[in-house]
Structure formats: structure tokens, C-alpha cells
Structure 1
Amino acid sequence: MKLWGRANSTNVRKALWCAFELELTPEHIEVGGAFGGVDTPEYRAMNPNGLVPCLEDGALVLWESNTIVRYLARQYGAAPFTPDSAVAWAEAEKWMDWASLAFAEPFKQLFWNRVRQTPETRDSEAMERGRLECARLMGIADDALARRAFLAGDTLTVADIPLGCLAYAWFSMPIERPELPHLAAWYARLSARPAFQRAVMTPLT
């Protein structure tokens, strides 16, 4: 098994974290960003989008980070981490897609301007709009986590993977954050996991 993508990508972190939770050890090949390599004919033959991550598992080639997480869980996982019914999958995938769709755009505005731009080149208004919208959305997760330890139940599941990777940046950036005690407790539980530490808690760049 090979996983292509730079380790500082949120989407690559998802795939690596899932793999490590399942005690898989894919060969990790750094491409994308400063590493380049995603515009080569060989890489584009695997992923015509030229994005990361990309997973090779035998003859299977997959792109799209949430799809990779779902595949790894179904192929190599077991309940409770891997949902065991259509209802449980729907509950988990709701949170996976919410994090990657509703949360992703405001997070991009916040992260890009706060971490990847200099004070002189930042769009401060876009950064603040992103921060406020991320805070509102994190409130939705906090409300759900008031009733259970993890997003889809009492144990870690694939539901937690996408938002967990984004939460690492949310809690690491020097920004104003609302008091969301249930979200903070959930993040502390994630941060105690060796697989999360190994795959996700790497420098923000």
C-alpha cells in the first residue's frame, strides 16, 4: 500500500490517521506543495486532478480523502470504528461530509490568511469572516458532543476523522475562539490517541 501526499495537508492527514488507527503502515510518498510531483504524467495517470492524497492498494487507485477513509475502514476495519449498518454509516458520513463541505470554505479563508500569508498580504476581512463562521459551525459540533463522547457515538469512528484534522488547526492557531467545552473535551480525547499524534499533530504550514 502506498499513500501519496504531503504530510502537512489536512486531507492527507485524514488518510494517514485512519490508516494508523487501523494499524496499517502504508508507504508514504511526499508529493504536492513544496514537494511538487503532482504534475508529472505518472502522477496524473493515477489522479488526473493533480491533488493529494492518492492511495494505491494493490491494483486499486483512489483519490478524494473521504473516499480513502471510507475504503480503508470498510476494507480493513471493524465496528465500532467502522460503522456496521446503513444507519450507522449515514450518521458517520453526515459528519464526514459536513466537515469537508460546510466547514471547509470558511476554514480555508481563515487558515490561508492566518497561516500562509504574511501580515502584509492577508485579507483580514476574509480571515475574520472565516473565523466567525468556523466558530458558529464548531458550535454545532459542540452541541452534538454534549450528548456523546464522539461525533457518531461513544467511541471513535470514521465520523471524527475529517473534523478532527481541522480541529487540530483550529485549536493550534493563535486566534480568538469561543468557549466550547464539549468540543474541547472531544479534541483532548483525540489528542491522547497515538495515531492522531503521529498523523495529525505535525507543524502547521
Structure 2
Amino acid sequence: MLRILGKTTSINVRKVLWTCAELGLSFEQEDWGSGFRSTEVDEFRALNPNAMVPVIRDGEFVLWESNSIIRYLANRYRGDWLYPAEPLARARCDQWIDWQASELNRSWSYAFLALVRRSPAHQDAQQIALSWANWSRHMAIVEQQLARTGAFIAGAAFSLADIPIALSANRWLETPQQHDDFPALDAYLARLAQRDGYREYCRNGTP
């Protein structure tokens, strides 16, 4: 049985849960992280020395880093329709998965901690405004790409790349702030609303 270690409120854990839903995989999920079992204990650090969620155990195989996990699951469990093997299609998919982790995630850090997590260390009004503007600029890139494809983030078909991008879009929309009007993004999320995994693990009101 596949085991997923990490709390469901984590955006990175929800990447893995949604991928499992798309692949029809059974799993056991354990709540680890802030508010639950501490990831700082030796038991967890033996699995991930970074003490971060998610971690999976697939039999004796242990893996951490959410984007590595979702790629592994698609490769391991006949997910070619989700994560295409053809080099050009896979490269387009990987481009958006990696961009979400390296650029989009970084853009929201200060604003998210201030406006959603209410972190006392992140209440500088100027820094909040700068972070929100940067976050919105990155979401405008998503809007432009969706307007270009008229469908999903990497092209005409739903792919693994849509999971991190849609989770990020949900986080942006659920953050209490004035949002730009992005009609292509709205249409995209309406298309995704037909998917069980989206409804259960993305559109759940939890940024």
C-alpha cells in the first residue's frame, strides 16, 4: 500500500493526493507537519532529512520532493496519458511543473505568510504590496498561457502540469486581496471542476 506522509492542508501534499486520484491509486495518508505529528523527530528525518512534507513510501521505496513524487507516480503507475513519454510533450509539461516550484512559489511567499498565515514577522505593508504585485505578475503569465492554449496549461489535454498550476491558482484566488480579472483562468478552473481530483484536493477552500 502506498503511504503518503503529510497534512492535507499542505499544497505540496495535495499535489500528490490529486495525482493519486487521477491515477486511481489507493493509498494511506498520515498527517505530519505543523499542527500534527512533528517532522522534526528522528523517525521522520530518517525518511526526509529536510523534515518537510510530503514523503511517500511505496513498499520499501522512499521519496520526497512533491514534484519528484508526482512524476514518479505517473511513471510507475501507467500514467502516460497524464505525463506524456514523447520528448516534446514531456518537456512542455516539465517546464510548467518546474516553473511553479522555482518561480511562482517564490513570488507568493511574503504575501501568503502575511495575508493567510498571519505571520507576525511578515506584516510590513510595503513588502506585502511588492509580494502581491509579483505574485499577480506571475499569475498573468498563467493567464497568457491559458489564453494561448484555450484549454490546459501545457496544451490541449490535461496533464501532470495542471496539478501544481491549478493548486497555485486556487491559493492565489483564496488569498484575501484584490484580484486581477483573468477570464482564461476562470474558464480553465471551470474545465477542471469536472475532475474529481480537482474538486476533492484543489477546490476545497483551503489555500
TM range (shorter): over 0.9
Equivalent residue, structure 2, for 1:47: 48
What is the total number of aligned residue pairs between the two structures? 205
Pair 140,39 (structure 1): closer, same or farther in 2 beyond 3 Å: same
Q: State the 1:190 CA deviation.
A: 2.0
**Which consecutive unaligned segments of at least 5 residues does structure 1 have?**
none
Equivalent residue, structure 2, for 1:102: 103
User: Which deviates more, 188-197 or 32-41?
Assistant: 188-197
Q: State the 1:118 CA deviation.
A: 6.7
Structure 1 position 176 matched with structure 2 position 183: no
Q: Distance in 2 between matches of 1:163 and 1:30?
A: 23
TM-score of the superposition, structure 1-length normalised?
A: 0.93
Equivalent residue, structure 2, for 1:198: 200
Pair 6,144 (structure 1): closer, same or farther in 2 beyond 3 Å: same
User: Which deviates more, 186-195 or 41-50?
Assistant: 186-195
Q: State the 1:203 CA deviation.
A: 4.4
Structure 1 position 18 matched with structure 2 position 19: yes
Pair 181,203 (structure 1): closer, same or farther in 2 beyond 3 Å: closer
Structure 1 position 143 matched with structure 2 position 144: yes
- Partner SS for 1:33: coil
User: Which deviates more, 40-49 or 171-180?
Assistant: 171-180
Q: Distance in 2 between matches of 1:10 and 1:124?
A: 25
Q: Distance in 2 between matches of 1:104 and 1:64?
A: 14
User: Which deviates more, 32-41 or 78-87?
Assistant: 78-87
1:70-113 per-residue CA deviation (whole Å, 9 max, x = no partner) reads 00111113333121212111110100011111111221212111
Equivalent residue, structure 1, for 2:82: 81
- Partner SS for 1:189: helix
- Partner SS for 2:189: helix
Structure 1 segments, 4+ long, off by >6 Å, are: 118-121
1:101 maps to amino acid: S
**Which consecutive unaligned segments of at least 5 residues does structure 2 have?**
none
Pair 127,121 (structure 1): closer, same or farther in 2 beyond 3 Å: closer
Pair 52,176 (structure 1): closer, same or farther in 2 beyond 3 Å: same
Pair 120,141 (structure 1): closer, same or farther in 2 beyond 3 Å: closer
> Percent same amino acid at aligned positions?
35
CA contact 1:106–1:129 (8 Å) conserved in 2: no
